[in-house]
Amino acid sequence: MNLIASPNTLATNPTLAVLGFKRQLVYHLHIWAFIAVAPLVMVQWQHGNVLLSSLLILFCANAALVIAFLRFRSTYFFKGRLFPILAVVCAAYSTLINGHAGLYWAYPAAIALFFLLPLREAIFCNVVFVSVMAVVSFLKFPEADFWRITFSLGLSCLFAMIFAWLVGRLQAELTRLATTDPLTGCLNRSQLADILNSQIQMRERYERVSSLVLIDLDYFKTINDRWGHLAGDKVLKEMALRVRKRLRESDQLFRIGGEEFMVVLPETRQKDADTLAHQLLTSISARPFLDDIRVTASASVAEVTQGETWSVWLNRADQALYEAKSRGRNQVVNAPRLASQEDILDPAPLADPATGGTTPA
Ligand SMILES: Nc1nc2c(ncn2[C@@H]2O[C@H](COP(=O)(O)OP(=O)(O)OP(=O)(O)O)[C@@H](O)[C@H]2O)c(=O)[nH]1
């Protein structure tokens, strides 16, 4: 079962770790809600409240299905929305017909909205819910109770909202810290496999071709040695800025090593990626860094080939970068394209030695 994010997942992919924790939350909420509500089905049935009893059966059936889906498929449906919606409907209706006995359920139902729905949706649903509960309490209870119920429920929702908002911000901030390089603000390696894999899937499913560019500063060690580590850091920061300026919104910039960067270019063929790589090298070498530090860089370009894994793709780019370094640096080398699986299954016609033309394979 994939409910609990393993330490391995946590260490390598923060986005998956967050998803794992969300699933855990949904799973436990549904289990405890099922345990709490299931006996009420019988109670309401015995009291002759057939409609409420049916709503509660629906609630329990949904909870049981979500639990089963999460247990056996690690996924759930409607993004867990049915639970809070059914819960608030049951609580409002139960208050209408049972008075205080139903009202007690309004508080956990309102709070569950913030655990299970995106914040904006939860706020909207809570405003509607508190308004409905205000009308129901106005009809059902004395005026003093109406005010008490409306304010206490509103306050519970407000506290839950503040808590959910803070947890959301904390989660976003921790994810940002775990996925980006603090010096340059580029993505770090934690997302690398996922992002390259998603580009590979676009290639496999929709024939959409992506490319990647590796850029490595030349003789960076001498910059550190001559101007100091702090100046080296500033050069790296400035270099990331210069590269980012040239990229599109959809492109992704990684810092994958000390002075090595990678750009993933969705929907970009090798030829266009090569043009961009030349422009990037020009923007690095054209102006000095920190007034008088002249820097050049080497780059490689690799278009994804059908059937290859992300590590093979990256390795091809790495080999080409090595080639750029050994040819003297400050240049772009294109990785040779691999024969794709399509080419292997459907090879190009062979040259006919007799005629000089081509023959079918
Ligand atoms: N200032 C600074 N230096 C770093 C950082 N990360 C790695 N380095 C340095 O980058 C240098 C990389 O050196 P090399 O791998 O020899 O590469 P190079 O000197 O650029 O040589 P070529 O890549 O072959 O052109 C090392 O001196 C590292 O200490 C960093 O975050 N800040």
pLDDT digits (tens, 9 = 90+) for 255-265: 999 999 999 99
Band of pLDDT at residue 284, cut at 50, 70 and 90: very high
Ligand 1 within 6 A of CB of 183:
yes
Asked, for residue 345, whether it belongs to a domain, the answer is no
Distance, in Å, from the CA atom of 296 to the CA atom of 281, rounded to the nearest integer, reads 7
Q: Which of 179, 206, 225 is the last residue of a domain?
A: 179
Distance, in Å, from the CA atom of 265 to the CA atom of 98, rounded to the nearest integer, reads 61
Asked, for residue 358, whether it belongs to a domain, the answer is no
Work out the average pLDDT over 272-297.
Answer: 95
Ligand 1 within 6 A of CB of 219:
yes
Q: Which atom of ligand 1 is nearest to the CA of 224?
A: 1
Which CB contacts under 8 angstroms, 24+ apart, belong to 27-30? 27/3, 27/66, 27/67, 27/70, 27/71, 29/83, 29/112, 29/115, 29/116, 30/63, 30/66, 30/67, 30/70, 30/80, 30/83
Residues above pLDDT 70, as percent of the chain: 90
Band of pLDDT at residue 13, cut at 50, 70 and 90: confident
Structural domain containing residue 224: 189-337
Structure tokens at 306: 């059908």
Atom 18 of ligand 1, nearest CA residue = 219
> CA 161 → CA 117, 119, 166, 329, distances in Å?
11, 8, 9, 55
Residue 220 CA to ligand 1 centre (angstroms): 5
119-123, 277-281, 338-342 — most confident range? 277-281
Ligand 1 within 6 A of CB of 237:
no
Band of pLDDT at residue 323, cut at 50, 70 and 90: very high
**pLDDT the model gives residue 275:** 97
184, 237, 259: which to mutate for ligand 1, most atoms within 8 A of CB? 259
pTM (predicted TM-score): 0.73
Atom 4 of ligand 1, nearest CA residue = 258
Ligand 1 within 6 A of CB of 232:
yes
Asked, for residue 291, whether it belongs to a domain, the answer is yes
Q: Which of 179, 197, 214 is the last residue of a domain?
A: 179
**By the 8 A CB rule, do 29 and 21 touch?**
no
| Residue 273 scores a pLDDT above 70 | yes
| Residue 54 scores a pLDDT above 70 | yes
**pLDDT the model gives residue 339:** 65
Q: Which of 147, 179, 211 is the last residue of a domain?
A: 179
- Domains identified in the chain, total number: 2
> In this structure, are 154 and 196 located in the same domain?
no
Q: Which atom of ligand 1 is nearest to the CA of 216?
A: 23
**pLDDT the model gives residue 361:** 26
Ligand 1 within 6 A of CB of 349:
no
Asked, for residue 206, whether it belongs to a domain, the answer is yes
Band of pLDDT at residue 185, cut at 50, 70 and 90: very high
> In this structure, are 34 and 149 located in the same domain?
yes
Ligand 1 within 6 A of CB of 303:
no
**By the 8 A CB rule, do 79 and 43 touch?**
no
> In this structure, are 195 and 164 located in the same domain?
no
Q: Which atom of ligand 1 is nearest to the CA of 220?
A: 20
| Residue 357 scores a pLDDT above 80 | no
Band of pLDDT at residue 202, cut at 50, 70 and 90: very high
Ligand 1 within 6 A of CB of 258:
yes
Asked, for residue 347, whether it belongs to a domain, the answer is no
Residues above pLDDT 90, as percent of the chain: 73
> In this structure, are 129 and 264 located in the same domain?
no
Q: Which atom of ligand 1 is nearest to the CA of 298?
A: 25
